[in-house]
Structure 1
Amino acid sequence: MVNDTFNSLTLQLEGLRIEETSVFPVFLFFLFSYLFILILNVGIVVLVYIDKGLHQPMHLLFCNLPVNDIFGNSIVLPRLLSDLLKPPSELLISYYECVLQAFCTHLFGTTSHTVLMIMAFDRYVAICNPLRYSAIMTNRMVMKLTVSAWGVAFVLVGVLLGLTIRLNRCRTLITNPFCDNASLFKLSCESVVINNIYGLTFTVVLFTVSIGSIVLTYTKITLVCLSNKNKSLNSKALKTCSTHLVVYLIMLFCGILIITLHRFPQYSDQRKILPSSSISSRAA
């Protein structure tokens, strides 16, 4: 008899474990969060596009974040909203849709790091080398940085998911409200040593380069501000950089926590809630 679970093209999502009385409030929370994210991020992009005074490298690079937020949240939240209204037995997703969703969610997370890195570089040049800022941060350089941020993320995530889709599957349950790489390769009964090695290397390299670039640039910015007696310049630098740093730290903390919780099955409920909540709160 053929085993229907072997390389099945239909997968079962575990979904969020929510009491029946709480489904409607949770649905409204995610719905209004998604609408808020769309309105806020689209508004930012339109404002930068319309106001020619904002056609500066800093604002153009910043536009990558709202575009990435719209992309990432649109991949996850609409599907999550529809699944909240379904009984557990109907939480089905095709394998190909699951792979696409996993690719997009990881691209969203990785691009968040790479975009914040190029924004840190922009602030470094603006504060530490202001006289050459316009010569360095040309439109061509902004385009190169943007393509690099998205291109590097695309390649890294492409290899990550490529290693997963090569595996045969003997399970069908995705232990998550949406698909990600770890949930996908857990469906396999084959050895996933290569996946774990690449996934760990990918994470360590991304976080090391990300944290290293942020620490290096902000250390140099701090040293320049301490040696500069211009209070107006220092105040402007502090406001710009502190906001950027807070966003980065929140994203870094959530990313590390999600990865850590994947290693502890007993905390699966907390793991499922965390990415859904963090995704819906990114625009804030």
Structure 2
Amino acid sequence: MENKSFGFSSELTLDTFVIPPGGKYPIFFLGITIYLFGIFCNLTLLILIILKKNLHKPMYFILFSLPLNDLIGITAMLPKVLSDIVTETNKVYYPLCVLQAFLLHMYGGGLLFILAAMAYDRYTAICMPLRYSSIMTPRVIICIISLVWGFDFALIVLLFSLQTRLPRCKSLIMNVFCDNPSLLKLTCGNTAVNNIIGLFNTAVFQAVSVSIQAFSYVKILITCVVSGRSEAKAKAVNTCVAQMVILIIFEIVGTFTILSHRFTNVSPDLQKIMGMLIFLVPPLLNPLVYGLYTREIRNTLLGVLKNSVGA
């Protein structure tokens, strides 16, 4: 049995992709391009919301959490994977592996809660426009953001506190990055409680996020249809479709990844690729969907670009 110590002498080996000869550097540069593009888009959105006073509104204060969460997800996963492709070491110390897994799970849960908070904000703005300012006060916004991050953090801490208490008897992570299911497969103790808590966390994240979003968007559609105004209907479609696209993509990839760990006949490479998409697709799409697709952010960005060119 291996030492359970968190010391840096505890080294794990990550599984690898089968890369054809001469393919690692093209894959590395493609990955770096994707990473830098994701970082640039999300940082641009963050900076715009911070610096531009016309974006200092409840909707954008909540939206601020989205690119921040995306930066956590893509940074926790992709640089390590790309480094392993080039160096071909595929080694990671156990504490760093736990940290990576913790951040990746924080990202996944955070995305679901943030989407729910954004849906509620749009529901309030469209269905109760006259009361919006009195409902979405600065205090309420702070409470919503605190609940999003605090609840996410508490659930993930609970999950990993149970995982790290178990002794380890294996050292090969059957994935290209660290996550809780892969870490759990290294243990040789009774994992029944861990599996129950893992399923409980998944159920809580899904139930809270999906129920709030479903309620919000159904109410938005009903309100806009009843109003009979084409402008209101277009606003509802723009609000709903953008967020639902991200949610559906995340749900499909996330559900497959979770279920794939519970079936032995799923291709390991397919499992790895689908797992990576969770941390790549939303961080790349979210700034475009919620940034450029939102008229006020789009106009603000265009104004900044015009001023920069004209300077």
TM-score by length of 2: 0.86
Mapped contact 1:33–1:281 kept (Cα < 8 A): no
Report which stretch shifted further, 269-278 or 117-126.
269-278
- Give the secondary structure class of the aligned counterpart of 2:265: helix
The aligned counterpart of 1:105 is 104
- Tell me by how many angstroms 1:265 deviates: 3.2
The aligned counterpart of 2:223 is 224
Aligned length: 279
Which stretches in structure 1 are left out of the alignment for 5+ residues?
A: none
- Give the secondary structure class of the aligned counterpart of 1:11: strand
Letter of the aligned partner of 2:55 in structure 1? L
Report which stretch shifted further, 134-143 or 163-172.
134-143
Letter of the aligned partner of 2:193 in structure 1? I
**Are 1:71 and 2:68 counterparts?**
no
Matches of 1:235 and 1:277 in 2, distance apart?
31
The aligned counterpart of 2:304 is none
The aligned counterpart of 1:59 is 60
- 1:219-271 CA-to-partner distances (Å, cap 9, x unmatched) read 11111111012221221222122111111111111111110111123322111
The aligned counterpart of 1:186 is 185
- 1:159-194 CA-to-partner distances (Å, cap 9, x unmatched) read 001110000000000001110001111101111111
Letter of the aligned partner of 1:276 in structure 2? M
The aligned counterpart of 1:7 is 4
The aligned counterpart of 2:280 is 280
What pairs up with 1:79-118 in 2 under 5 angstroms?
A: 79-87=80-88, 90-118=89-117
- Give the secondary structure class of the aligned counterpart of 1:281: helix
Report which stretch shifted further, 255-264 or 231-240.
231-240
Matches of 1:163 and 1:260 in 2, distance apart?
21
- Tell me by how many angstroms 1:217 deviates: 1.3
What pairs up with 1:199-278 in 2 under 5 angstroms?
A: 199-267=198-266, 268-278=268-278
- Tell me by how many angstroms 1:50 deviates: 1.8
The aligned counterpart of 1:47 is 48
Matches of 1:195 and 1:19 in 2, distance apart?
38
Matches of 1:276 and 1:17 in 2, distance apart?
16
Matches of 1:48 and 1:6 in 2, distance apart?
47
- Tell me by how many angstroms 1:42 deviates: 0.4
Matches of 1:265 and 1:36 in 2, distance apart?
35
Matches of 1:232 and 1:85 in 2, distance apart?
52
- Give the secondary structure class of the aligned counterpart of 2:167: coil
> RMSD over aligned Cα, in angstroms?
1.4
TM-score by length of 1: 0.94
Mapped contact 1:16–1:176 kept (Cα < 8 A): no
Matches of 2:144 and 2:30 in 1, distance apart?
35
Mapped contact 1:15–1:178 kept (Cα < 8 A): no
The aligned counterpart of 1:142 is 141
Matches of 1:154 and 1:15 in 2, distance apart?
30
- Give the secondary structure class of the aligned counterpart of 1:179: coil
- Tell me by how many angstroms 1:218 deviates: 1.0
Matches of 2:95 and 2:51 in 1, distance apart?
38
The aligned counterpart of 1:153 is 152
The aligned counterpart of 1:172 is 171
Matches of 2:202 and 2:209 in 1, distance apart?
10
Which stretches in structure 2 are left out of the alignment for 5+ residues?
A: 286-311
- Tell me by how many angstroms 1:280 deviates: 2.1
- Tell me by how many angstroms 1:205 deviates: 2.2
- Tell me by how many angstroms 1:209 deviates: 2.1
- Tell me by how many angstroms 1:91 deviates: 1.3
Report which stretch shifted further, 130-139 or 226-235.
226-235
